[in-house]
């Protein structure tokens, strides 16, 4: 297979940004987008395509497609029957090598997601497609209903995504989900989802100068920024010593140089006008309560004092008053991306000083 069709999944609201990143980095040619998904063609392996996939949660090499599964359970047998055994075997043979991993002798695992009218469950989809994949590949199927060994023992992870009756079946391109970064072995409450952190770094456009994260936590945003643009000078602030320790460890594993300071975000120990960009994920009050003084326009103004004229602020927050504060501080809103994450609906906003 000289060319692969790949289904990349991302956080809802980041589909357009993911398509843009794939194009900018020459990772492939975009076919189209669906909710939470971008379908593209590529002649590259995963390693070459990876810079364009940092915003993705996961990626799957497409091995089957059905246009009209229908809303009824009987349609699932039609879906399984439409799978092309030759294409399934070809993808199973080539995708692991292209993704840089080797398939062992274990069973196949299937995860399904469904959007649109239907009267069947994801488990119904997984059972029907999993049994057919097992038959085609001559492997056991690791049912999530507990009838066989658990998915942790699976050698191949397949995805079935059904949206408004259109099903796409694919084999995971990598050995594990793309959002599970190898460097992130330490986390703290409220740690940001890595693809969202990568999205913030991409939206900032920062390629040089000082980038400040005033709520750095375990360091995910700064690490993603540093991996995207190695020449940045990265500075992270946090009041929690455990967070700073986690950030130091993660940055070390990622081979990204980050200066970490224990201080309050509203009074950062950073020279005025020194930062070309600020990337901020303030505590939302869900997993972690804010412990500092960033509570209104005056405290935001003190933080923004570190931003140079023409610099950018990228903030991920779910509180409407944040935008009002920033506007009162004299910043201009350039981009506004509403997303859905862990049951909440924050916005990623790009502001310019």
pLDDT in tens, 259-283: 999 987 766 567 888 999 999 998 8
The pLDDT, as a whole number, for residue 149 is 47
Residue 61 three-state SS = strand
Alpha carbon 236 to its chain's center: 21
69-86: average pLDDT: 92
Q: Let me know: does 282 contact 322? Beta carbons within 8 Å.
A: yes
**Res. 180 pLDDT band, cuts 50 70 90:** very high
Q: Which backbone phi and psi does 291 adopt, to 5 degrees? A: -110, -5
- Percent of the chain exceeding pLDDT 90 equals 77
pTM for this one? 0.93
Same fold, 4-172 and 194-352: no
Q: Let me know: does 315 contact 322? Beta carbons within 8 Å.
A: yes
Choose the weakest-confidence range: 213-217, 245-249, 319-323: 319-323
Sign of CA dihedral 255, 261, 265, 271: negative
Choose the weakest-confidence range: 39-48, 100-109, 122-131, 173-182: 100-109
- List, for residues 20-31, the tens digit of each pLDDT value: 999 999 999 999
Cα Rg, the chain, nearest whole Å:
22
| Distance separating alpha carbons of residues 179 and 161, to the nearest angstrom | 18
The pLDDT, as a whole number, for residue 215 is 92
To which CATH superfamily is domain 194-352 assigned?
Answer: Vaccinia Virus protein VP39 (3.40.50.150)
* pLDDT surpasses 50 at 309: yes
What order of strands is seen across the sheet that includes strand 210-213? 258-262, 233-238, 210-213, 275-280, 307-317, 347-352, 332-338
| Torsion angle (degrees, nearest 10) of CA 139, 152, 74, 136 | -20
In the numeric block, the tokens 């990626």 are attached to: 59
**Distance set, CA 120 to CA 131, 168, 327 (Å):** 17, 17, 47
> Pick from 15, 141, 137: which is nearest to 64 by CA?
137
Tokens of 188: 């703290």
* pLDDT surpasses 80 at 287: no
Q: Let me know: does 140 contact 148? Beta carbons within 8 Å.
A: yes
* pLDDT surpasses 80 at 159: yes
The pLDDT, as a whole number, for residue 14 is 98
328-342: average pLDDT: 94
The pLDDT, as a whole number, for residue 273 is 87
Q: Quick one: angle between helices 122-137 and 85-99, nearest 10?
A: 90
- List, for residues 109-132, the tens digit of each pLDDT value: 999 999 999 999 999 999 999 999
The pLDDT, as a whole number, for residue 103 is 84
**Domain segments of the chain: what residues?**
4-172, 194-352
Q: Which backbone phi and psi does 225 adopt, to 5 degrees? A: -65, -40
Q: Let me know: does 178 contact 56? Beta carbons within 8 Å.
A: yes
Mean pLDDT estimate for the chain: 91
* pLDDT surpasses 60 at 196: yes
The pLDDT, as a whole number, for residue 270 is 75
Alpha carbon 95 to its chain's center: 21
In the numeric block, the tokens 């995971």 are attached to: 172
Is the model more confident about 283 or about 210? 210
Q: Which helix or strand (DSSP H or E) is residue 196 part of? A: helix 194-204
Question: What architecture is domain 4-172?
Answer: 2-Layer Sandwich (3.30)
Highest mean pLDDT among 244-248, 291-295, 303-307: 244-248
* Kind of pairing between the strands at 307-317 and 275-280: parallel
What is the SS3 assignment for 119-184? CCCHHHHHHHHHHHHHHHHCCCECCCCCCCCCHHHCCEEEEEEEECCEEEEEEECCCCCCCCCCCC
Q: Let me know: does 231 contact 256? Beta carbons within 8 Å.
A: no
């Amino acid at each position: 297979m000289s060319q692969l069709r790949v289904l990349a999944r991302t956080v809802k609201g980041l589909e357009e940004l993911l398509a843009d990143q794939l194009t900018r980095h020459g990772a492939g040619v975009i076919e189209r987008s669906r909710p939470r998904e971008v379908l593209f063609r590529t002649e590259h392996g995963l390693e070459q395509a990876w810079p364009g996939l940092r915003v993705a949660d996961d990626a799957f090499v497409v091995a089957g497609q059905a246009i009209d599964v229908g809303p009824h359970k009987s349609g699932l047998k039609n879906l399984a029957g439409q799978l092309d055994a030759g294409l399934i075997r070809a993808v199973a043979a080539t995708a692991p090598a292209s993704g840089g991993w080797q398939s062992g002798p274990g069973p196949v695992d299937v995860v399904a997601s469904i959007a649109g009218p239907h009267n069947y469950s994801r488990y119904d989809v997984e059972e029907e497609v999993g049994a057919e994949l097992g038959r085609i590949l001559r492997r056991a199927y690791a049912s999530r209903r507990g009838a066989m060994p658990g998915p942790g023992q699976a050698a191949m992870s397949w995805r079935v995504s059904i949206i408004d009756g259109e099903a796409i079946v694919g084999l995971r391109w990598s050995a594990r989900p793309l959002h599970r970064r190898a460097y992130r072995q330490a986390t703290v409450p409220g740690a940001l989802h890595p693809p969202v952190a990568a999205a913030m770094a991409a939206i900032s456009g920062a390629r040089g100068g000082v980038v400040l994260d005033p709520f750095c936590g375990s360091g995910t945003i700064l690490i993603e920024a540093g991996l995207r643009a190695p020449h940045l000078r990265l500075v992270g602030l946090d009041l929690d010593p455990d967070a700073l320790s986690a950030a130091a460890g993660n940055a070390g594993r990622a081979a990204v140089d980050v200066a970490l300071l224990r201080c309050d975000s509203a009074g950062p120990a950073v020279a005025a006008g020194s930062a070309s960009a600020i990337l901020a994920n303030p505590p939302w009050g869900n997993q972690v309560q804010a412990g500092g003084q960033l509570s209104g326009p005056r405290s935001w103004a003190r933080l923004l004092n570190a931003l140079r004229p023409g610099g950018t602020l990228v903030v991920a927050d779910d509180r409407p008053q944040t935008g009002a504060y920033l506007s009162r501080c004299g910043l201009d809103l350039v981009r506004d991306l509403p997303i859905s994450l862990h049951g909440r609906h924050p916005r990623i906003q790009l502001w310019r000083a």
